[in-house]
Amino acid sequence: MSGDLAKTLDRLYGLVPKGKALGLERMQAACDKLGNPERAFSAVHVAGTNGKGTVSAFVASIARASGKRVGLYTSPHLVRFAERIQIDGAPLDDDTLAAVLDRVMTEAPDLTFFETATLAAFLAFKEAKVDLAVLEVGLGGRLDATNVIPPPKVAVITRVAFDHMEELGDSLSKIATEKAGIIKKGTTVVVGKLHPDARDVIERRAAQVGAHLVALSSPEPIPGAALAYPRFAMFGSNLAVAVTVAQELGVAPRTIADGIEAAQWPGRNELLHRSGQELTLLDCAHNPDGTVALSHVLDPSILGEIESRRDVALIFGALKRKSWKAMLRRLDQVAAHKFFVAPPLPEDKVADPKAMAAAFTGTVAPSISEALSMARAKVGQSGLVVVTGSIYLVGAARALLLNVPADPPVDM
């Protein structure tokens, strides 16, 4: 990282105490002041409780395979902040990232951390003259900073499940209402497999604003043709959602397949190998809905390399606001050995590993590094270590395992 970017990120991280502050007024005023960069590109806008990052990564990869210049905006970052703003599959270079962030913080000093990052992405995409921007919603949708964009080509809602209930509501209908706020007049709408209560809300919103809801297609762009798609796509409707979006963008089946096979999305059902052994599975399953999918992945008959749950060690940590007991109940039977550790965030934000060990048989680890060592020692070189429960835990573990530099995690 350059010295200039380091100073810029220090300045940006100084905005964290402002919190999330949902609402569009500040963001819209800042966009107007900076020449409305949000109007400079076509967009695919992606919301959802789970899977929105995965779908965004797929759609961006497919669009690149079709010859488009593509911007991708996601959050939070896994290891480095620069991951949040990518052009043609690569994070912004240090100088460009520092320049757009500094410009936003100088000209729109009232914005929050997430709003600043979002507007910086818009500026970067405008300056790079991207043909398409794939924008992942940060929280909810209706009042999310990304929702200042004009009607997108496609609005996507991947899943609606219980998460962030303090901000979004305590029922699937309420949560779906917030996510449906990204649906605008004339937009094509693609949704994953939703509970009927959530789907009813989406259908009503589409009808009210004059949007076009399309049927979910097969996950196979070329029927009957096997895909060498990345492991993170193995479960759920994410692949079908991405294929449907690509079809609505007019991408040919062979190109869709090429884009799927080239997609990368670290930390999501990502299996790391070291010297052909020491398998470590990283998965950002940060709520009960996510752990359902992970529990299916951990079936020994699916993993193939692992003979039984005795060969699986779970490293788990979560934020205090998450339903960690429900998450662990789902994972309790898939791993014989459990290690609990706090994600690398302030103590008041994380669930207490000691409480986890009291509720579920396991061992408290004093650090992520020690948790990795303890888990590996328990299952040996041929066993599987699974790191999950929080994206911040997964990101820190990934940086340690791959020996790469990391920026501080931010819960926004």
pLDDT by position in tens, the chain (length 412): 666 999 999 999 999 999 988 899 999 999 999 999 999 999 999 999 889 999 999 999 999 999 999 999 999 999 999 999 999 999 999 999 999 999 999 999 999 999 999 999 999 999 999 999 999 999 999 999 999 999 999 999 999 877 665 667 678 999 999 999 999 999 999 999 999 999 999 999 999 999 999 999 999 999 888 888 787 776 668 999 999 999 999 999 999 999 999 999 999 989 888 766 678 999 998 888 889 888 887 865 555 555 566 789 999 999 998 999 999 999 988 898 999 999 999 999 999 999 999 999 999 999 999 999 999 999 998 889 999 999 999 999 999 999 999 999 998 8
> CB-based burial of residue 124 (10 Å sphere; 0-12 exposed, 13-18 middle, 19+ buried)?
buried
Return the H-helix or E-strand segment holding 121.
helix 113-127
Strand ranges for 255-341 from DSSP E = 270-274, 277-283, 312-316, 337-340
Q: Fold for 3-262, please state it.
A: UDP-N-acetylmuramoyl-L-alanine:D-glutamate ligase (3.40.1190)
Domain ranges of the chain: 3-262, 270-402
Give me the CATH code for the 270-402 domain, please: 3.90.190.20
Predicted confidence at residue 226, as pLDDT, reads 81
Predicted confidence at residue 276, as pLDDT, reads 61
Q: Which residue has the tokens 């999950």?
A: 388
Write the CA distances from 338 to 321, 329, 353, integer angstroms: 21, 12, 11
User: pTM of this prediction?
Assistant: 0.94
Predicted confidence at residue 1, as pLDDT, reads 66
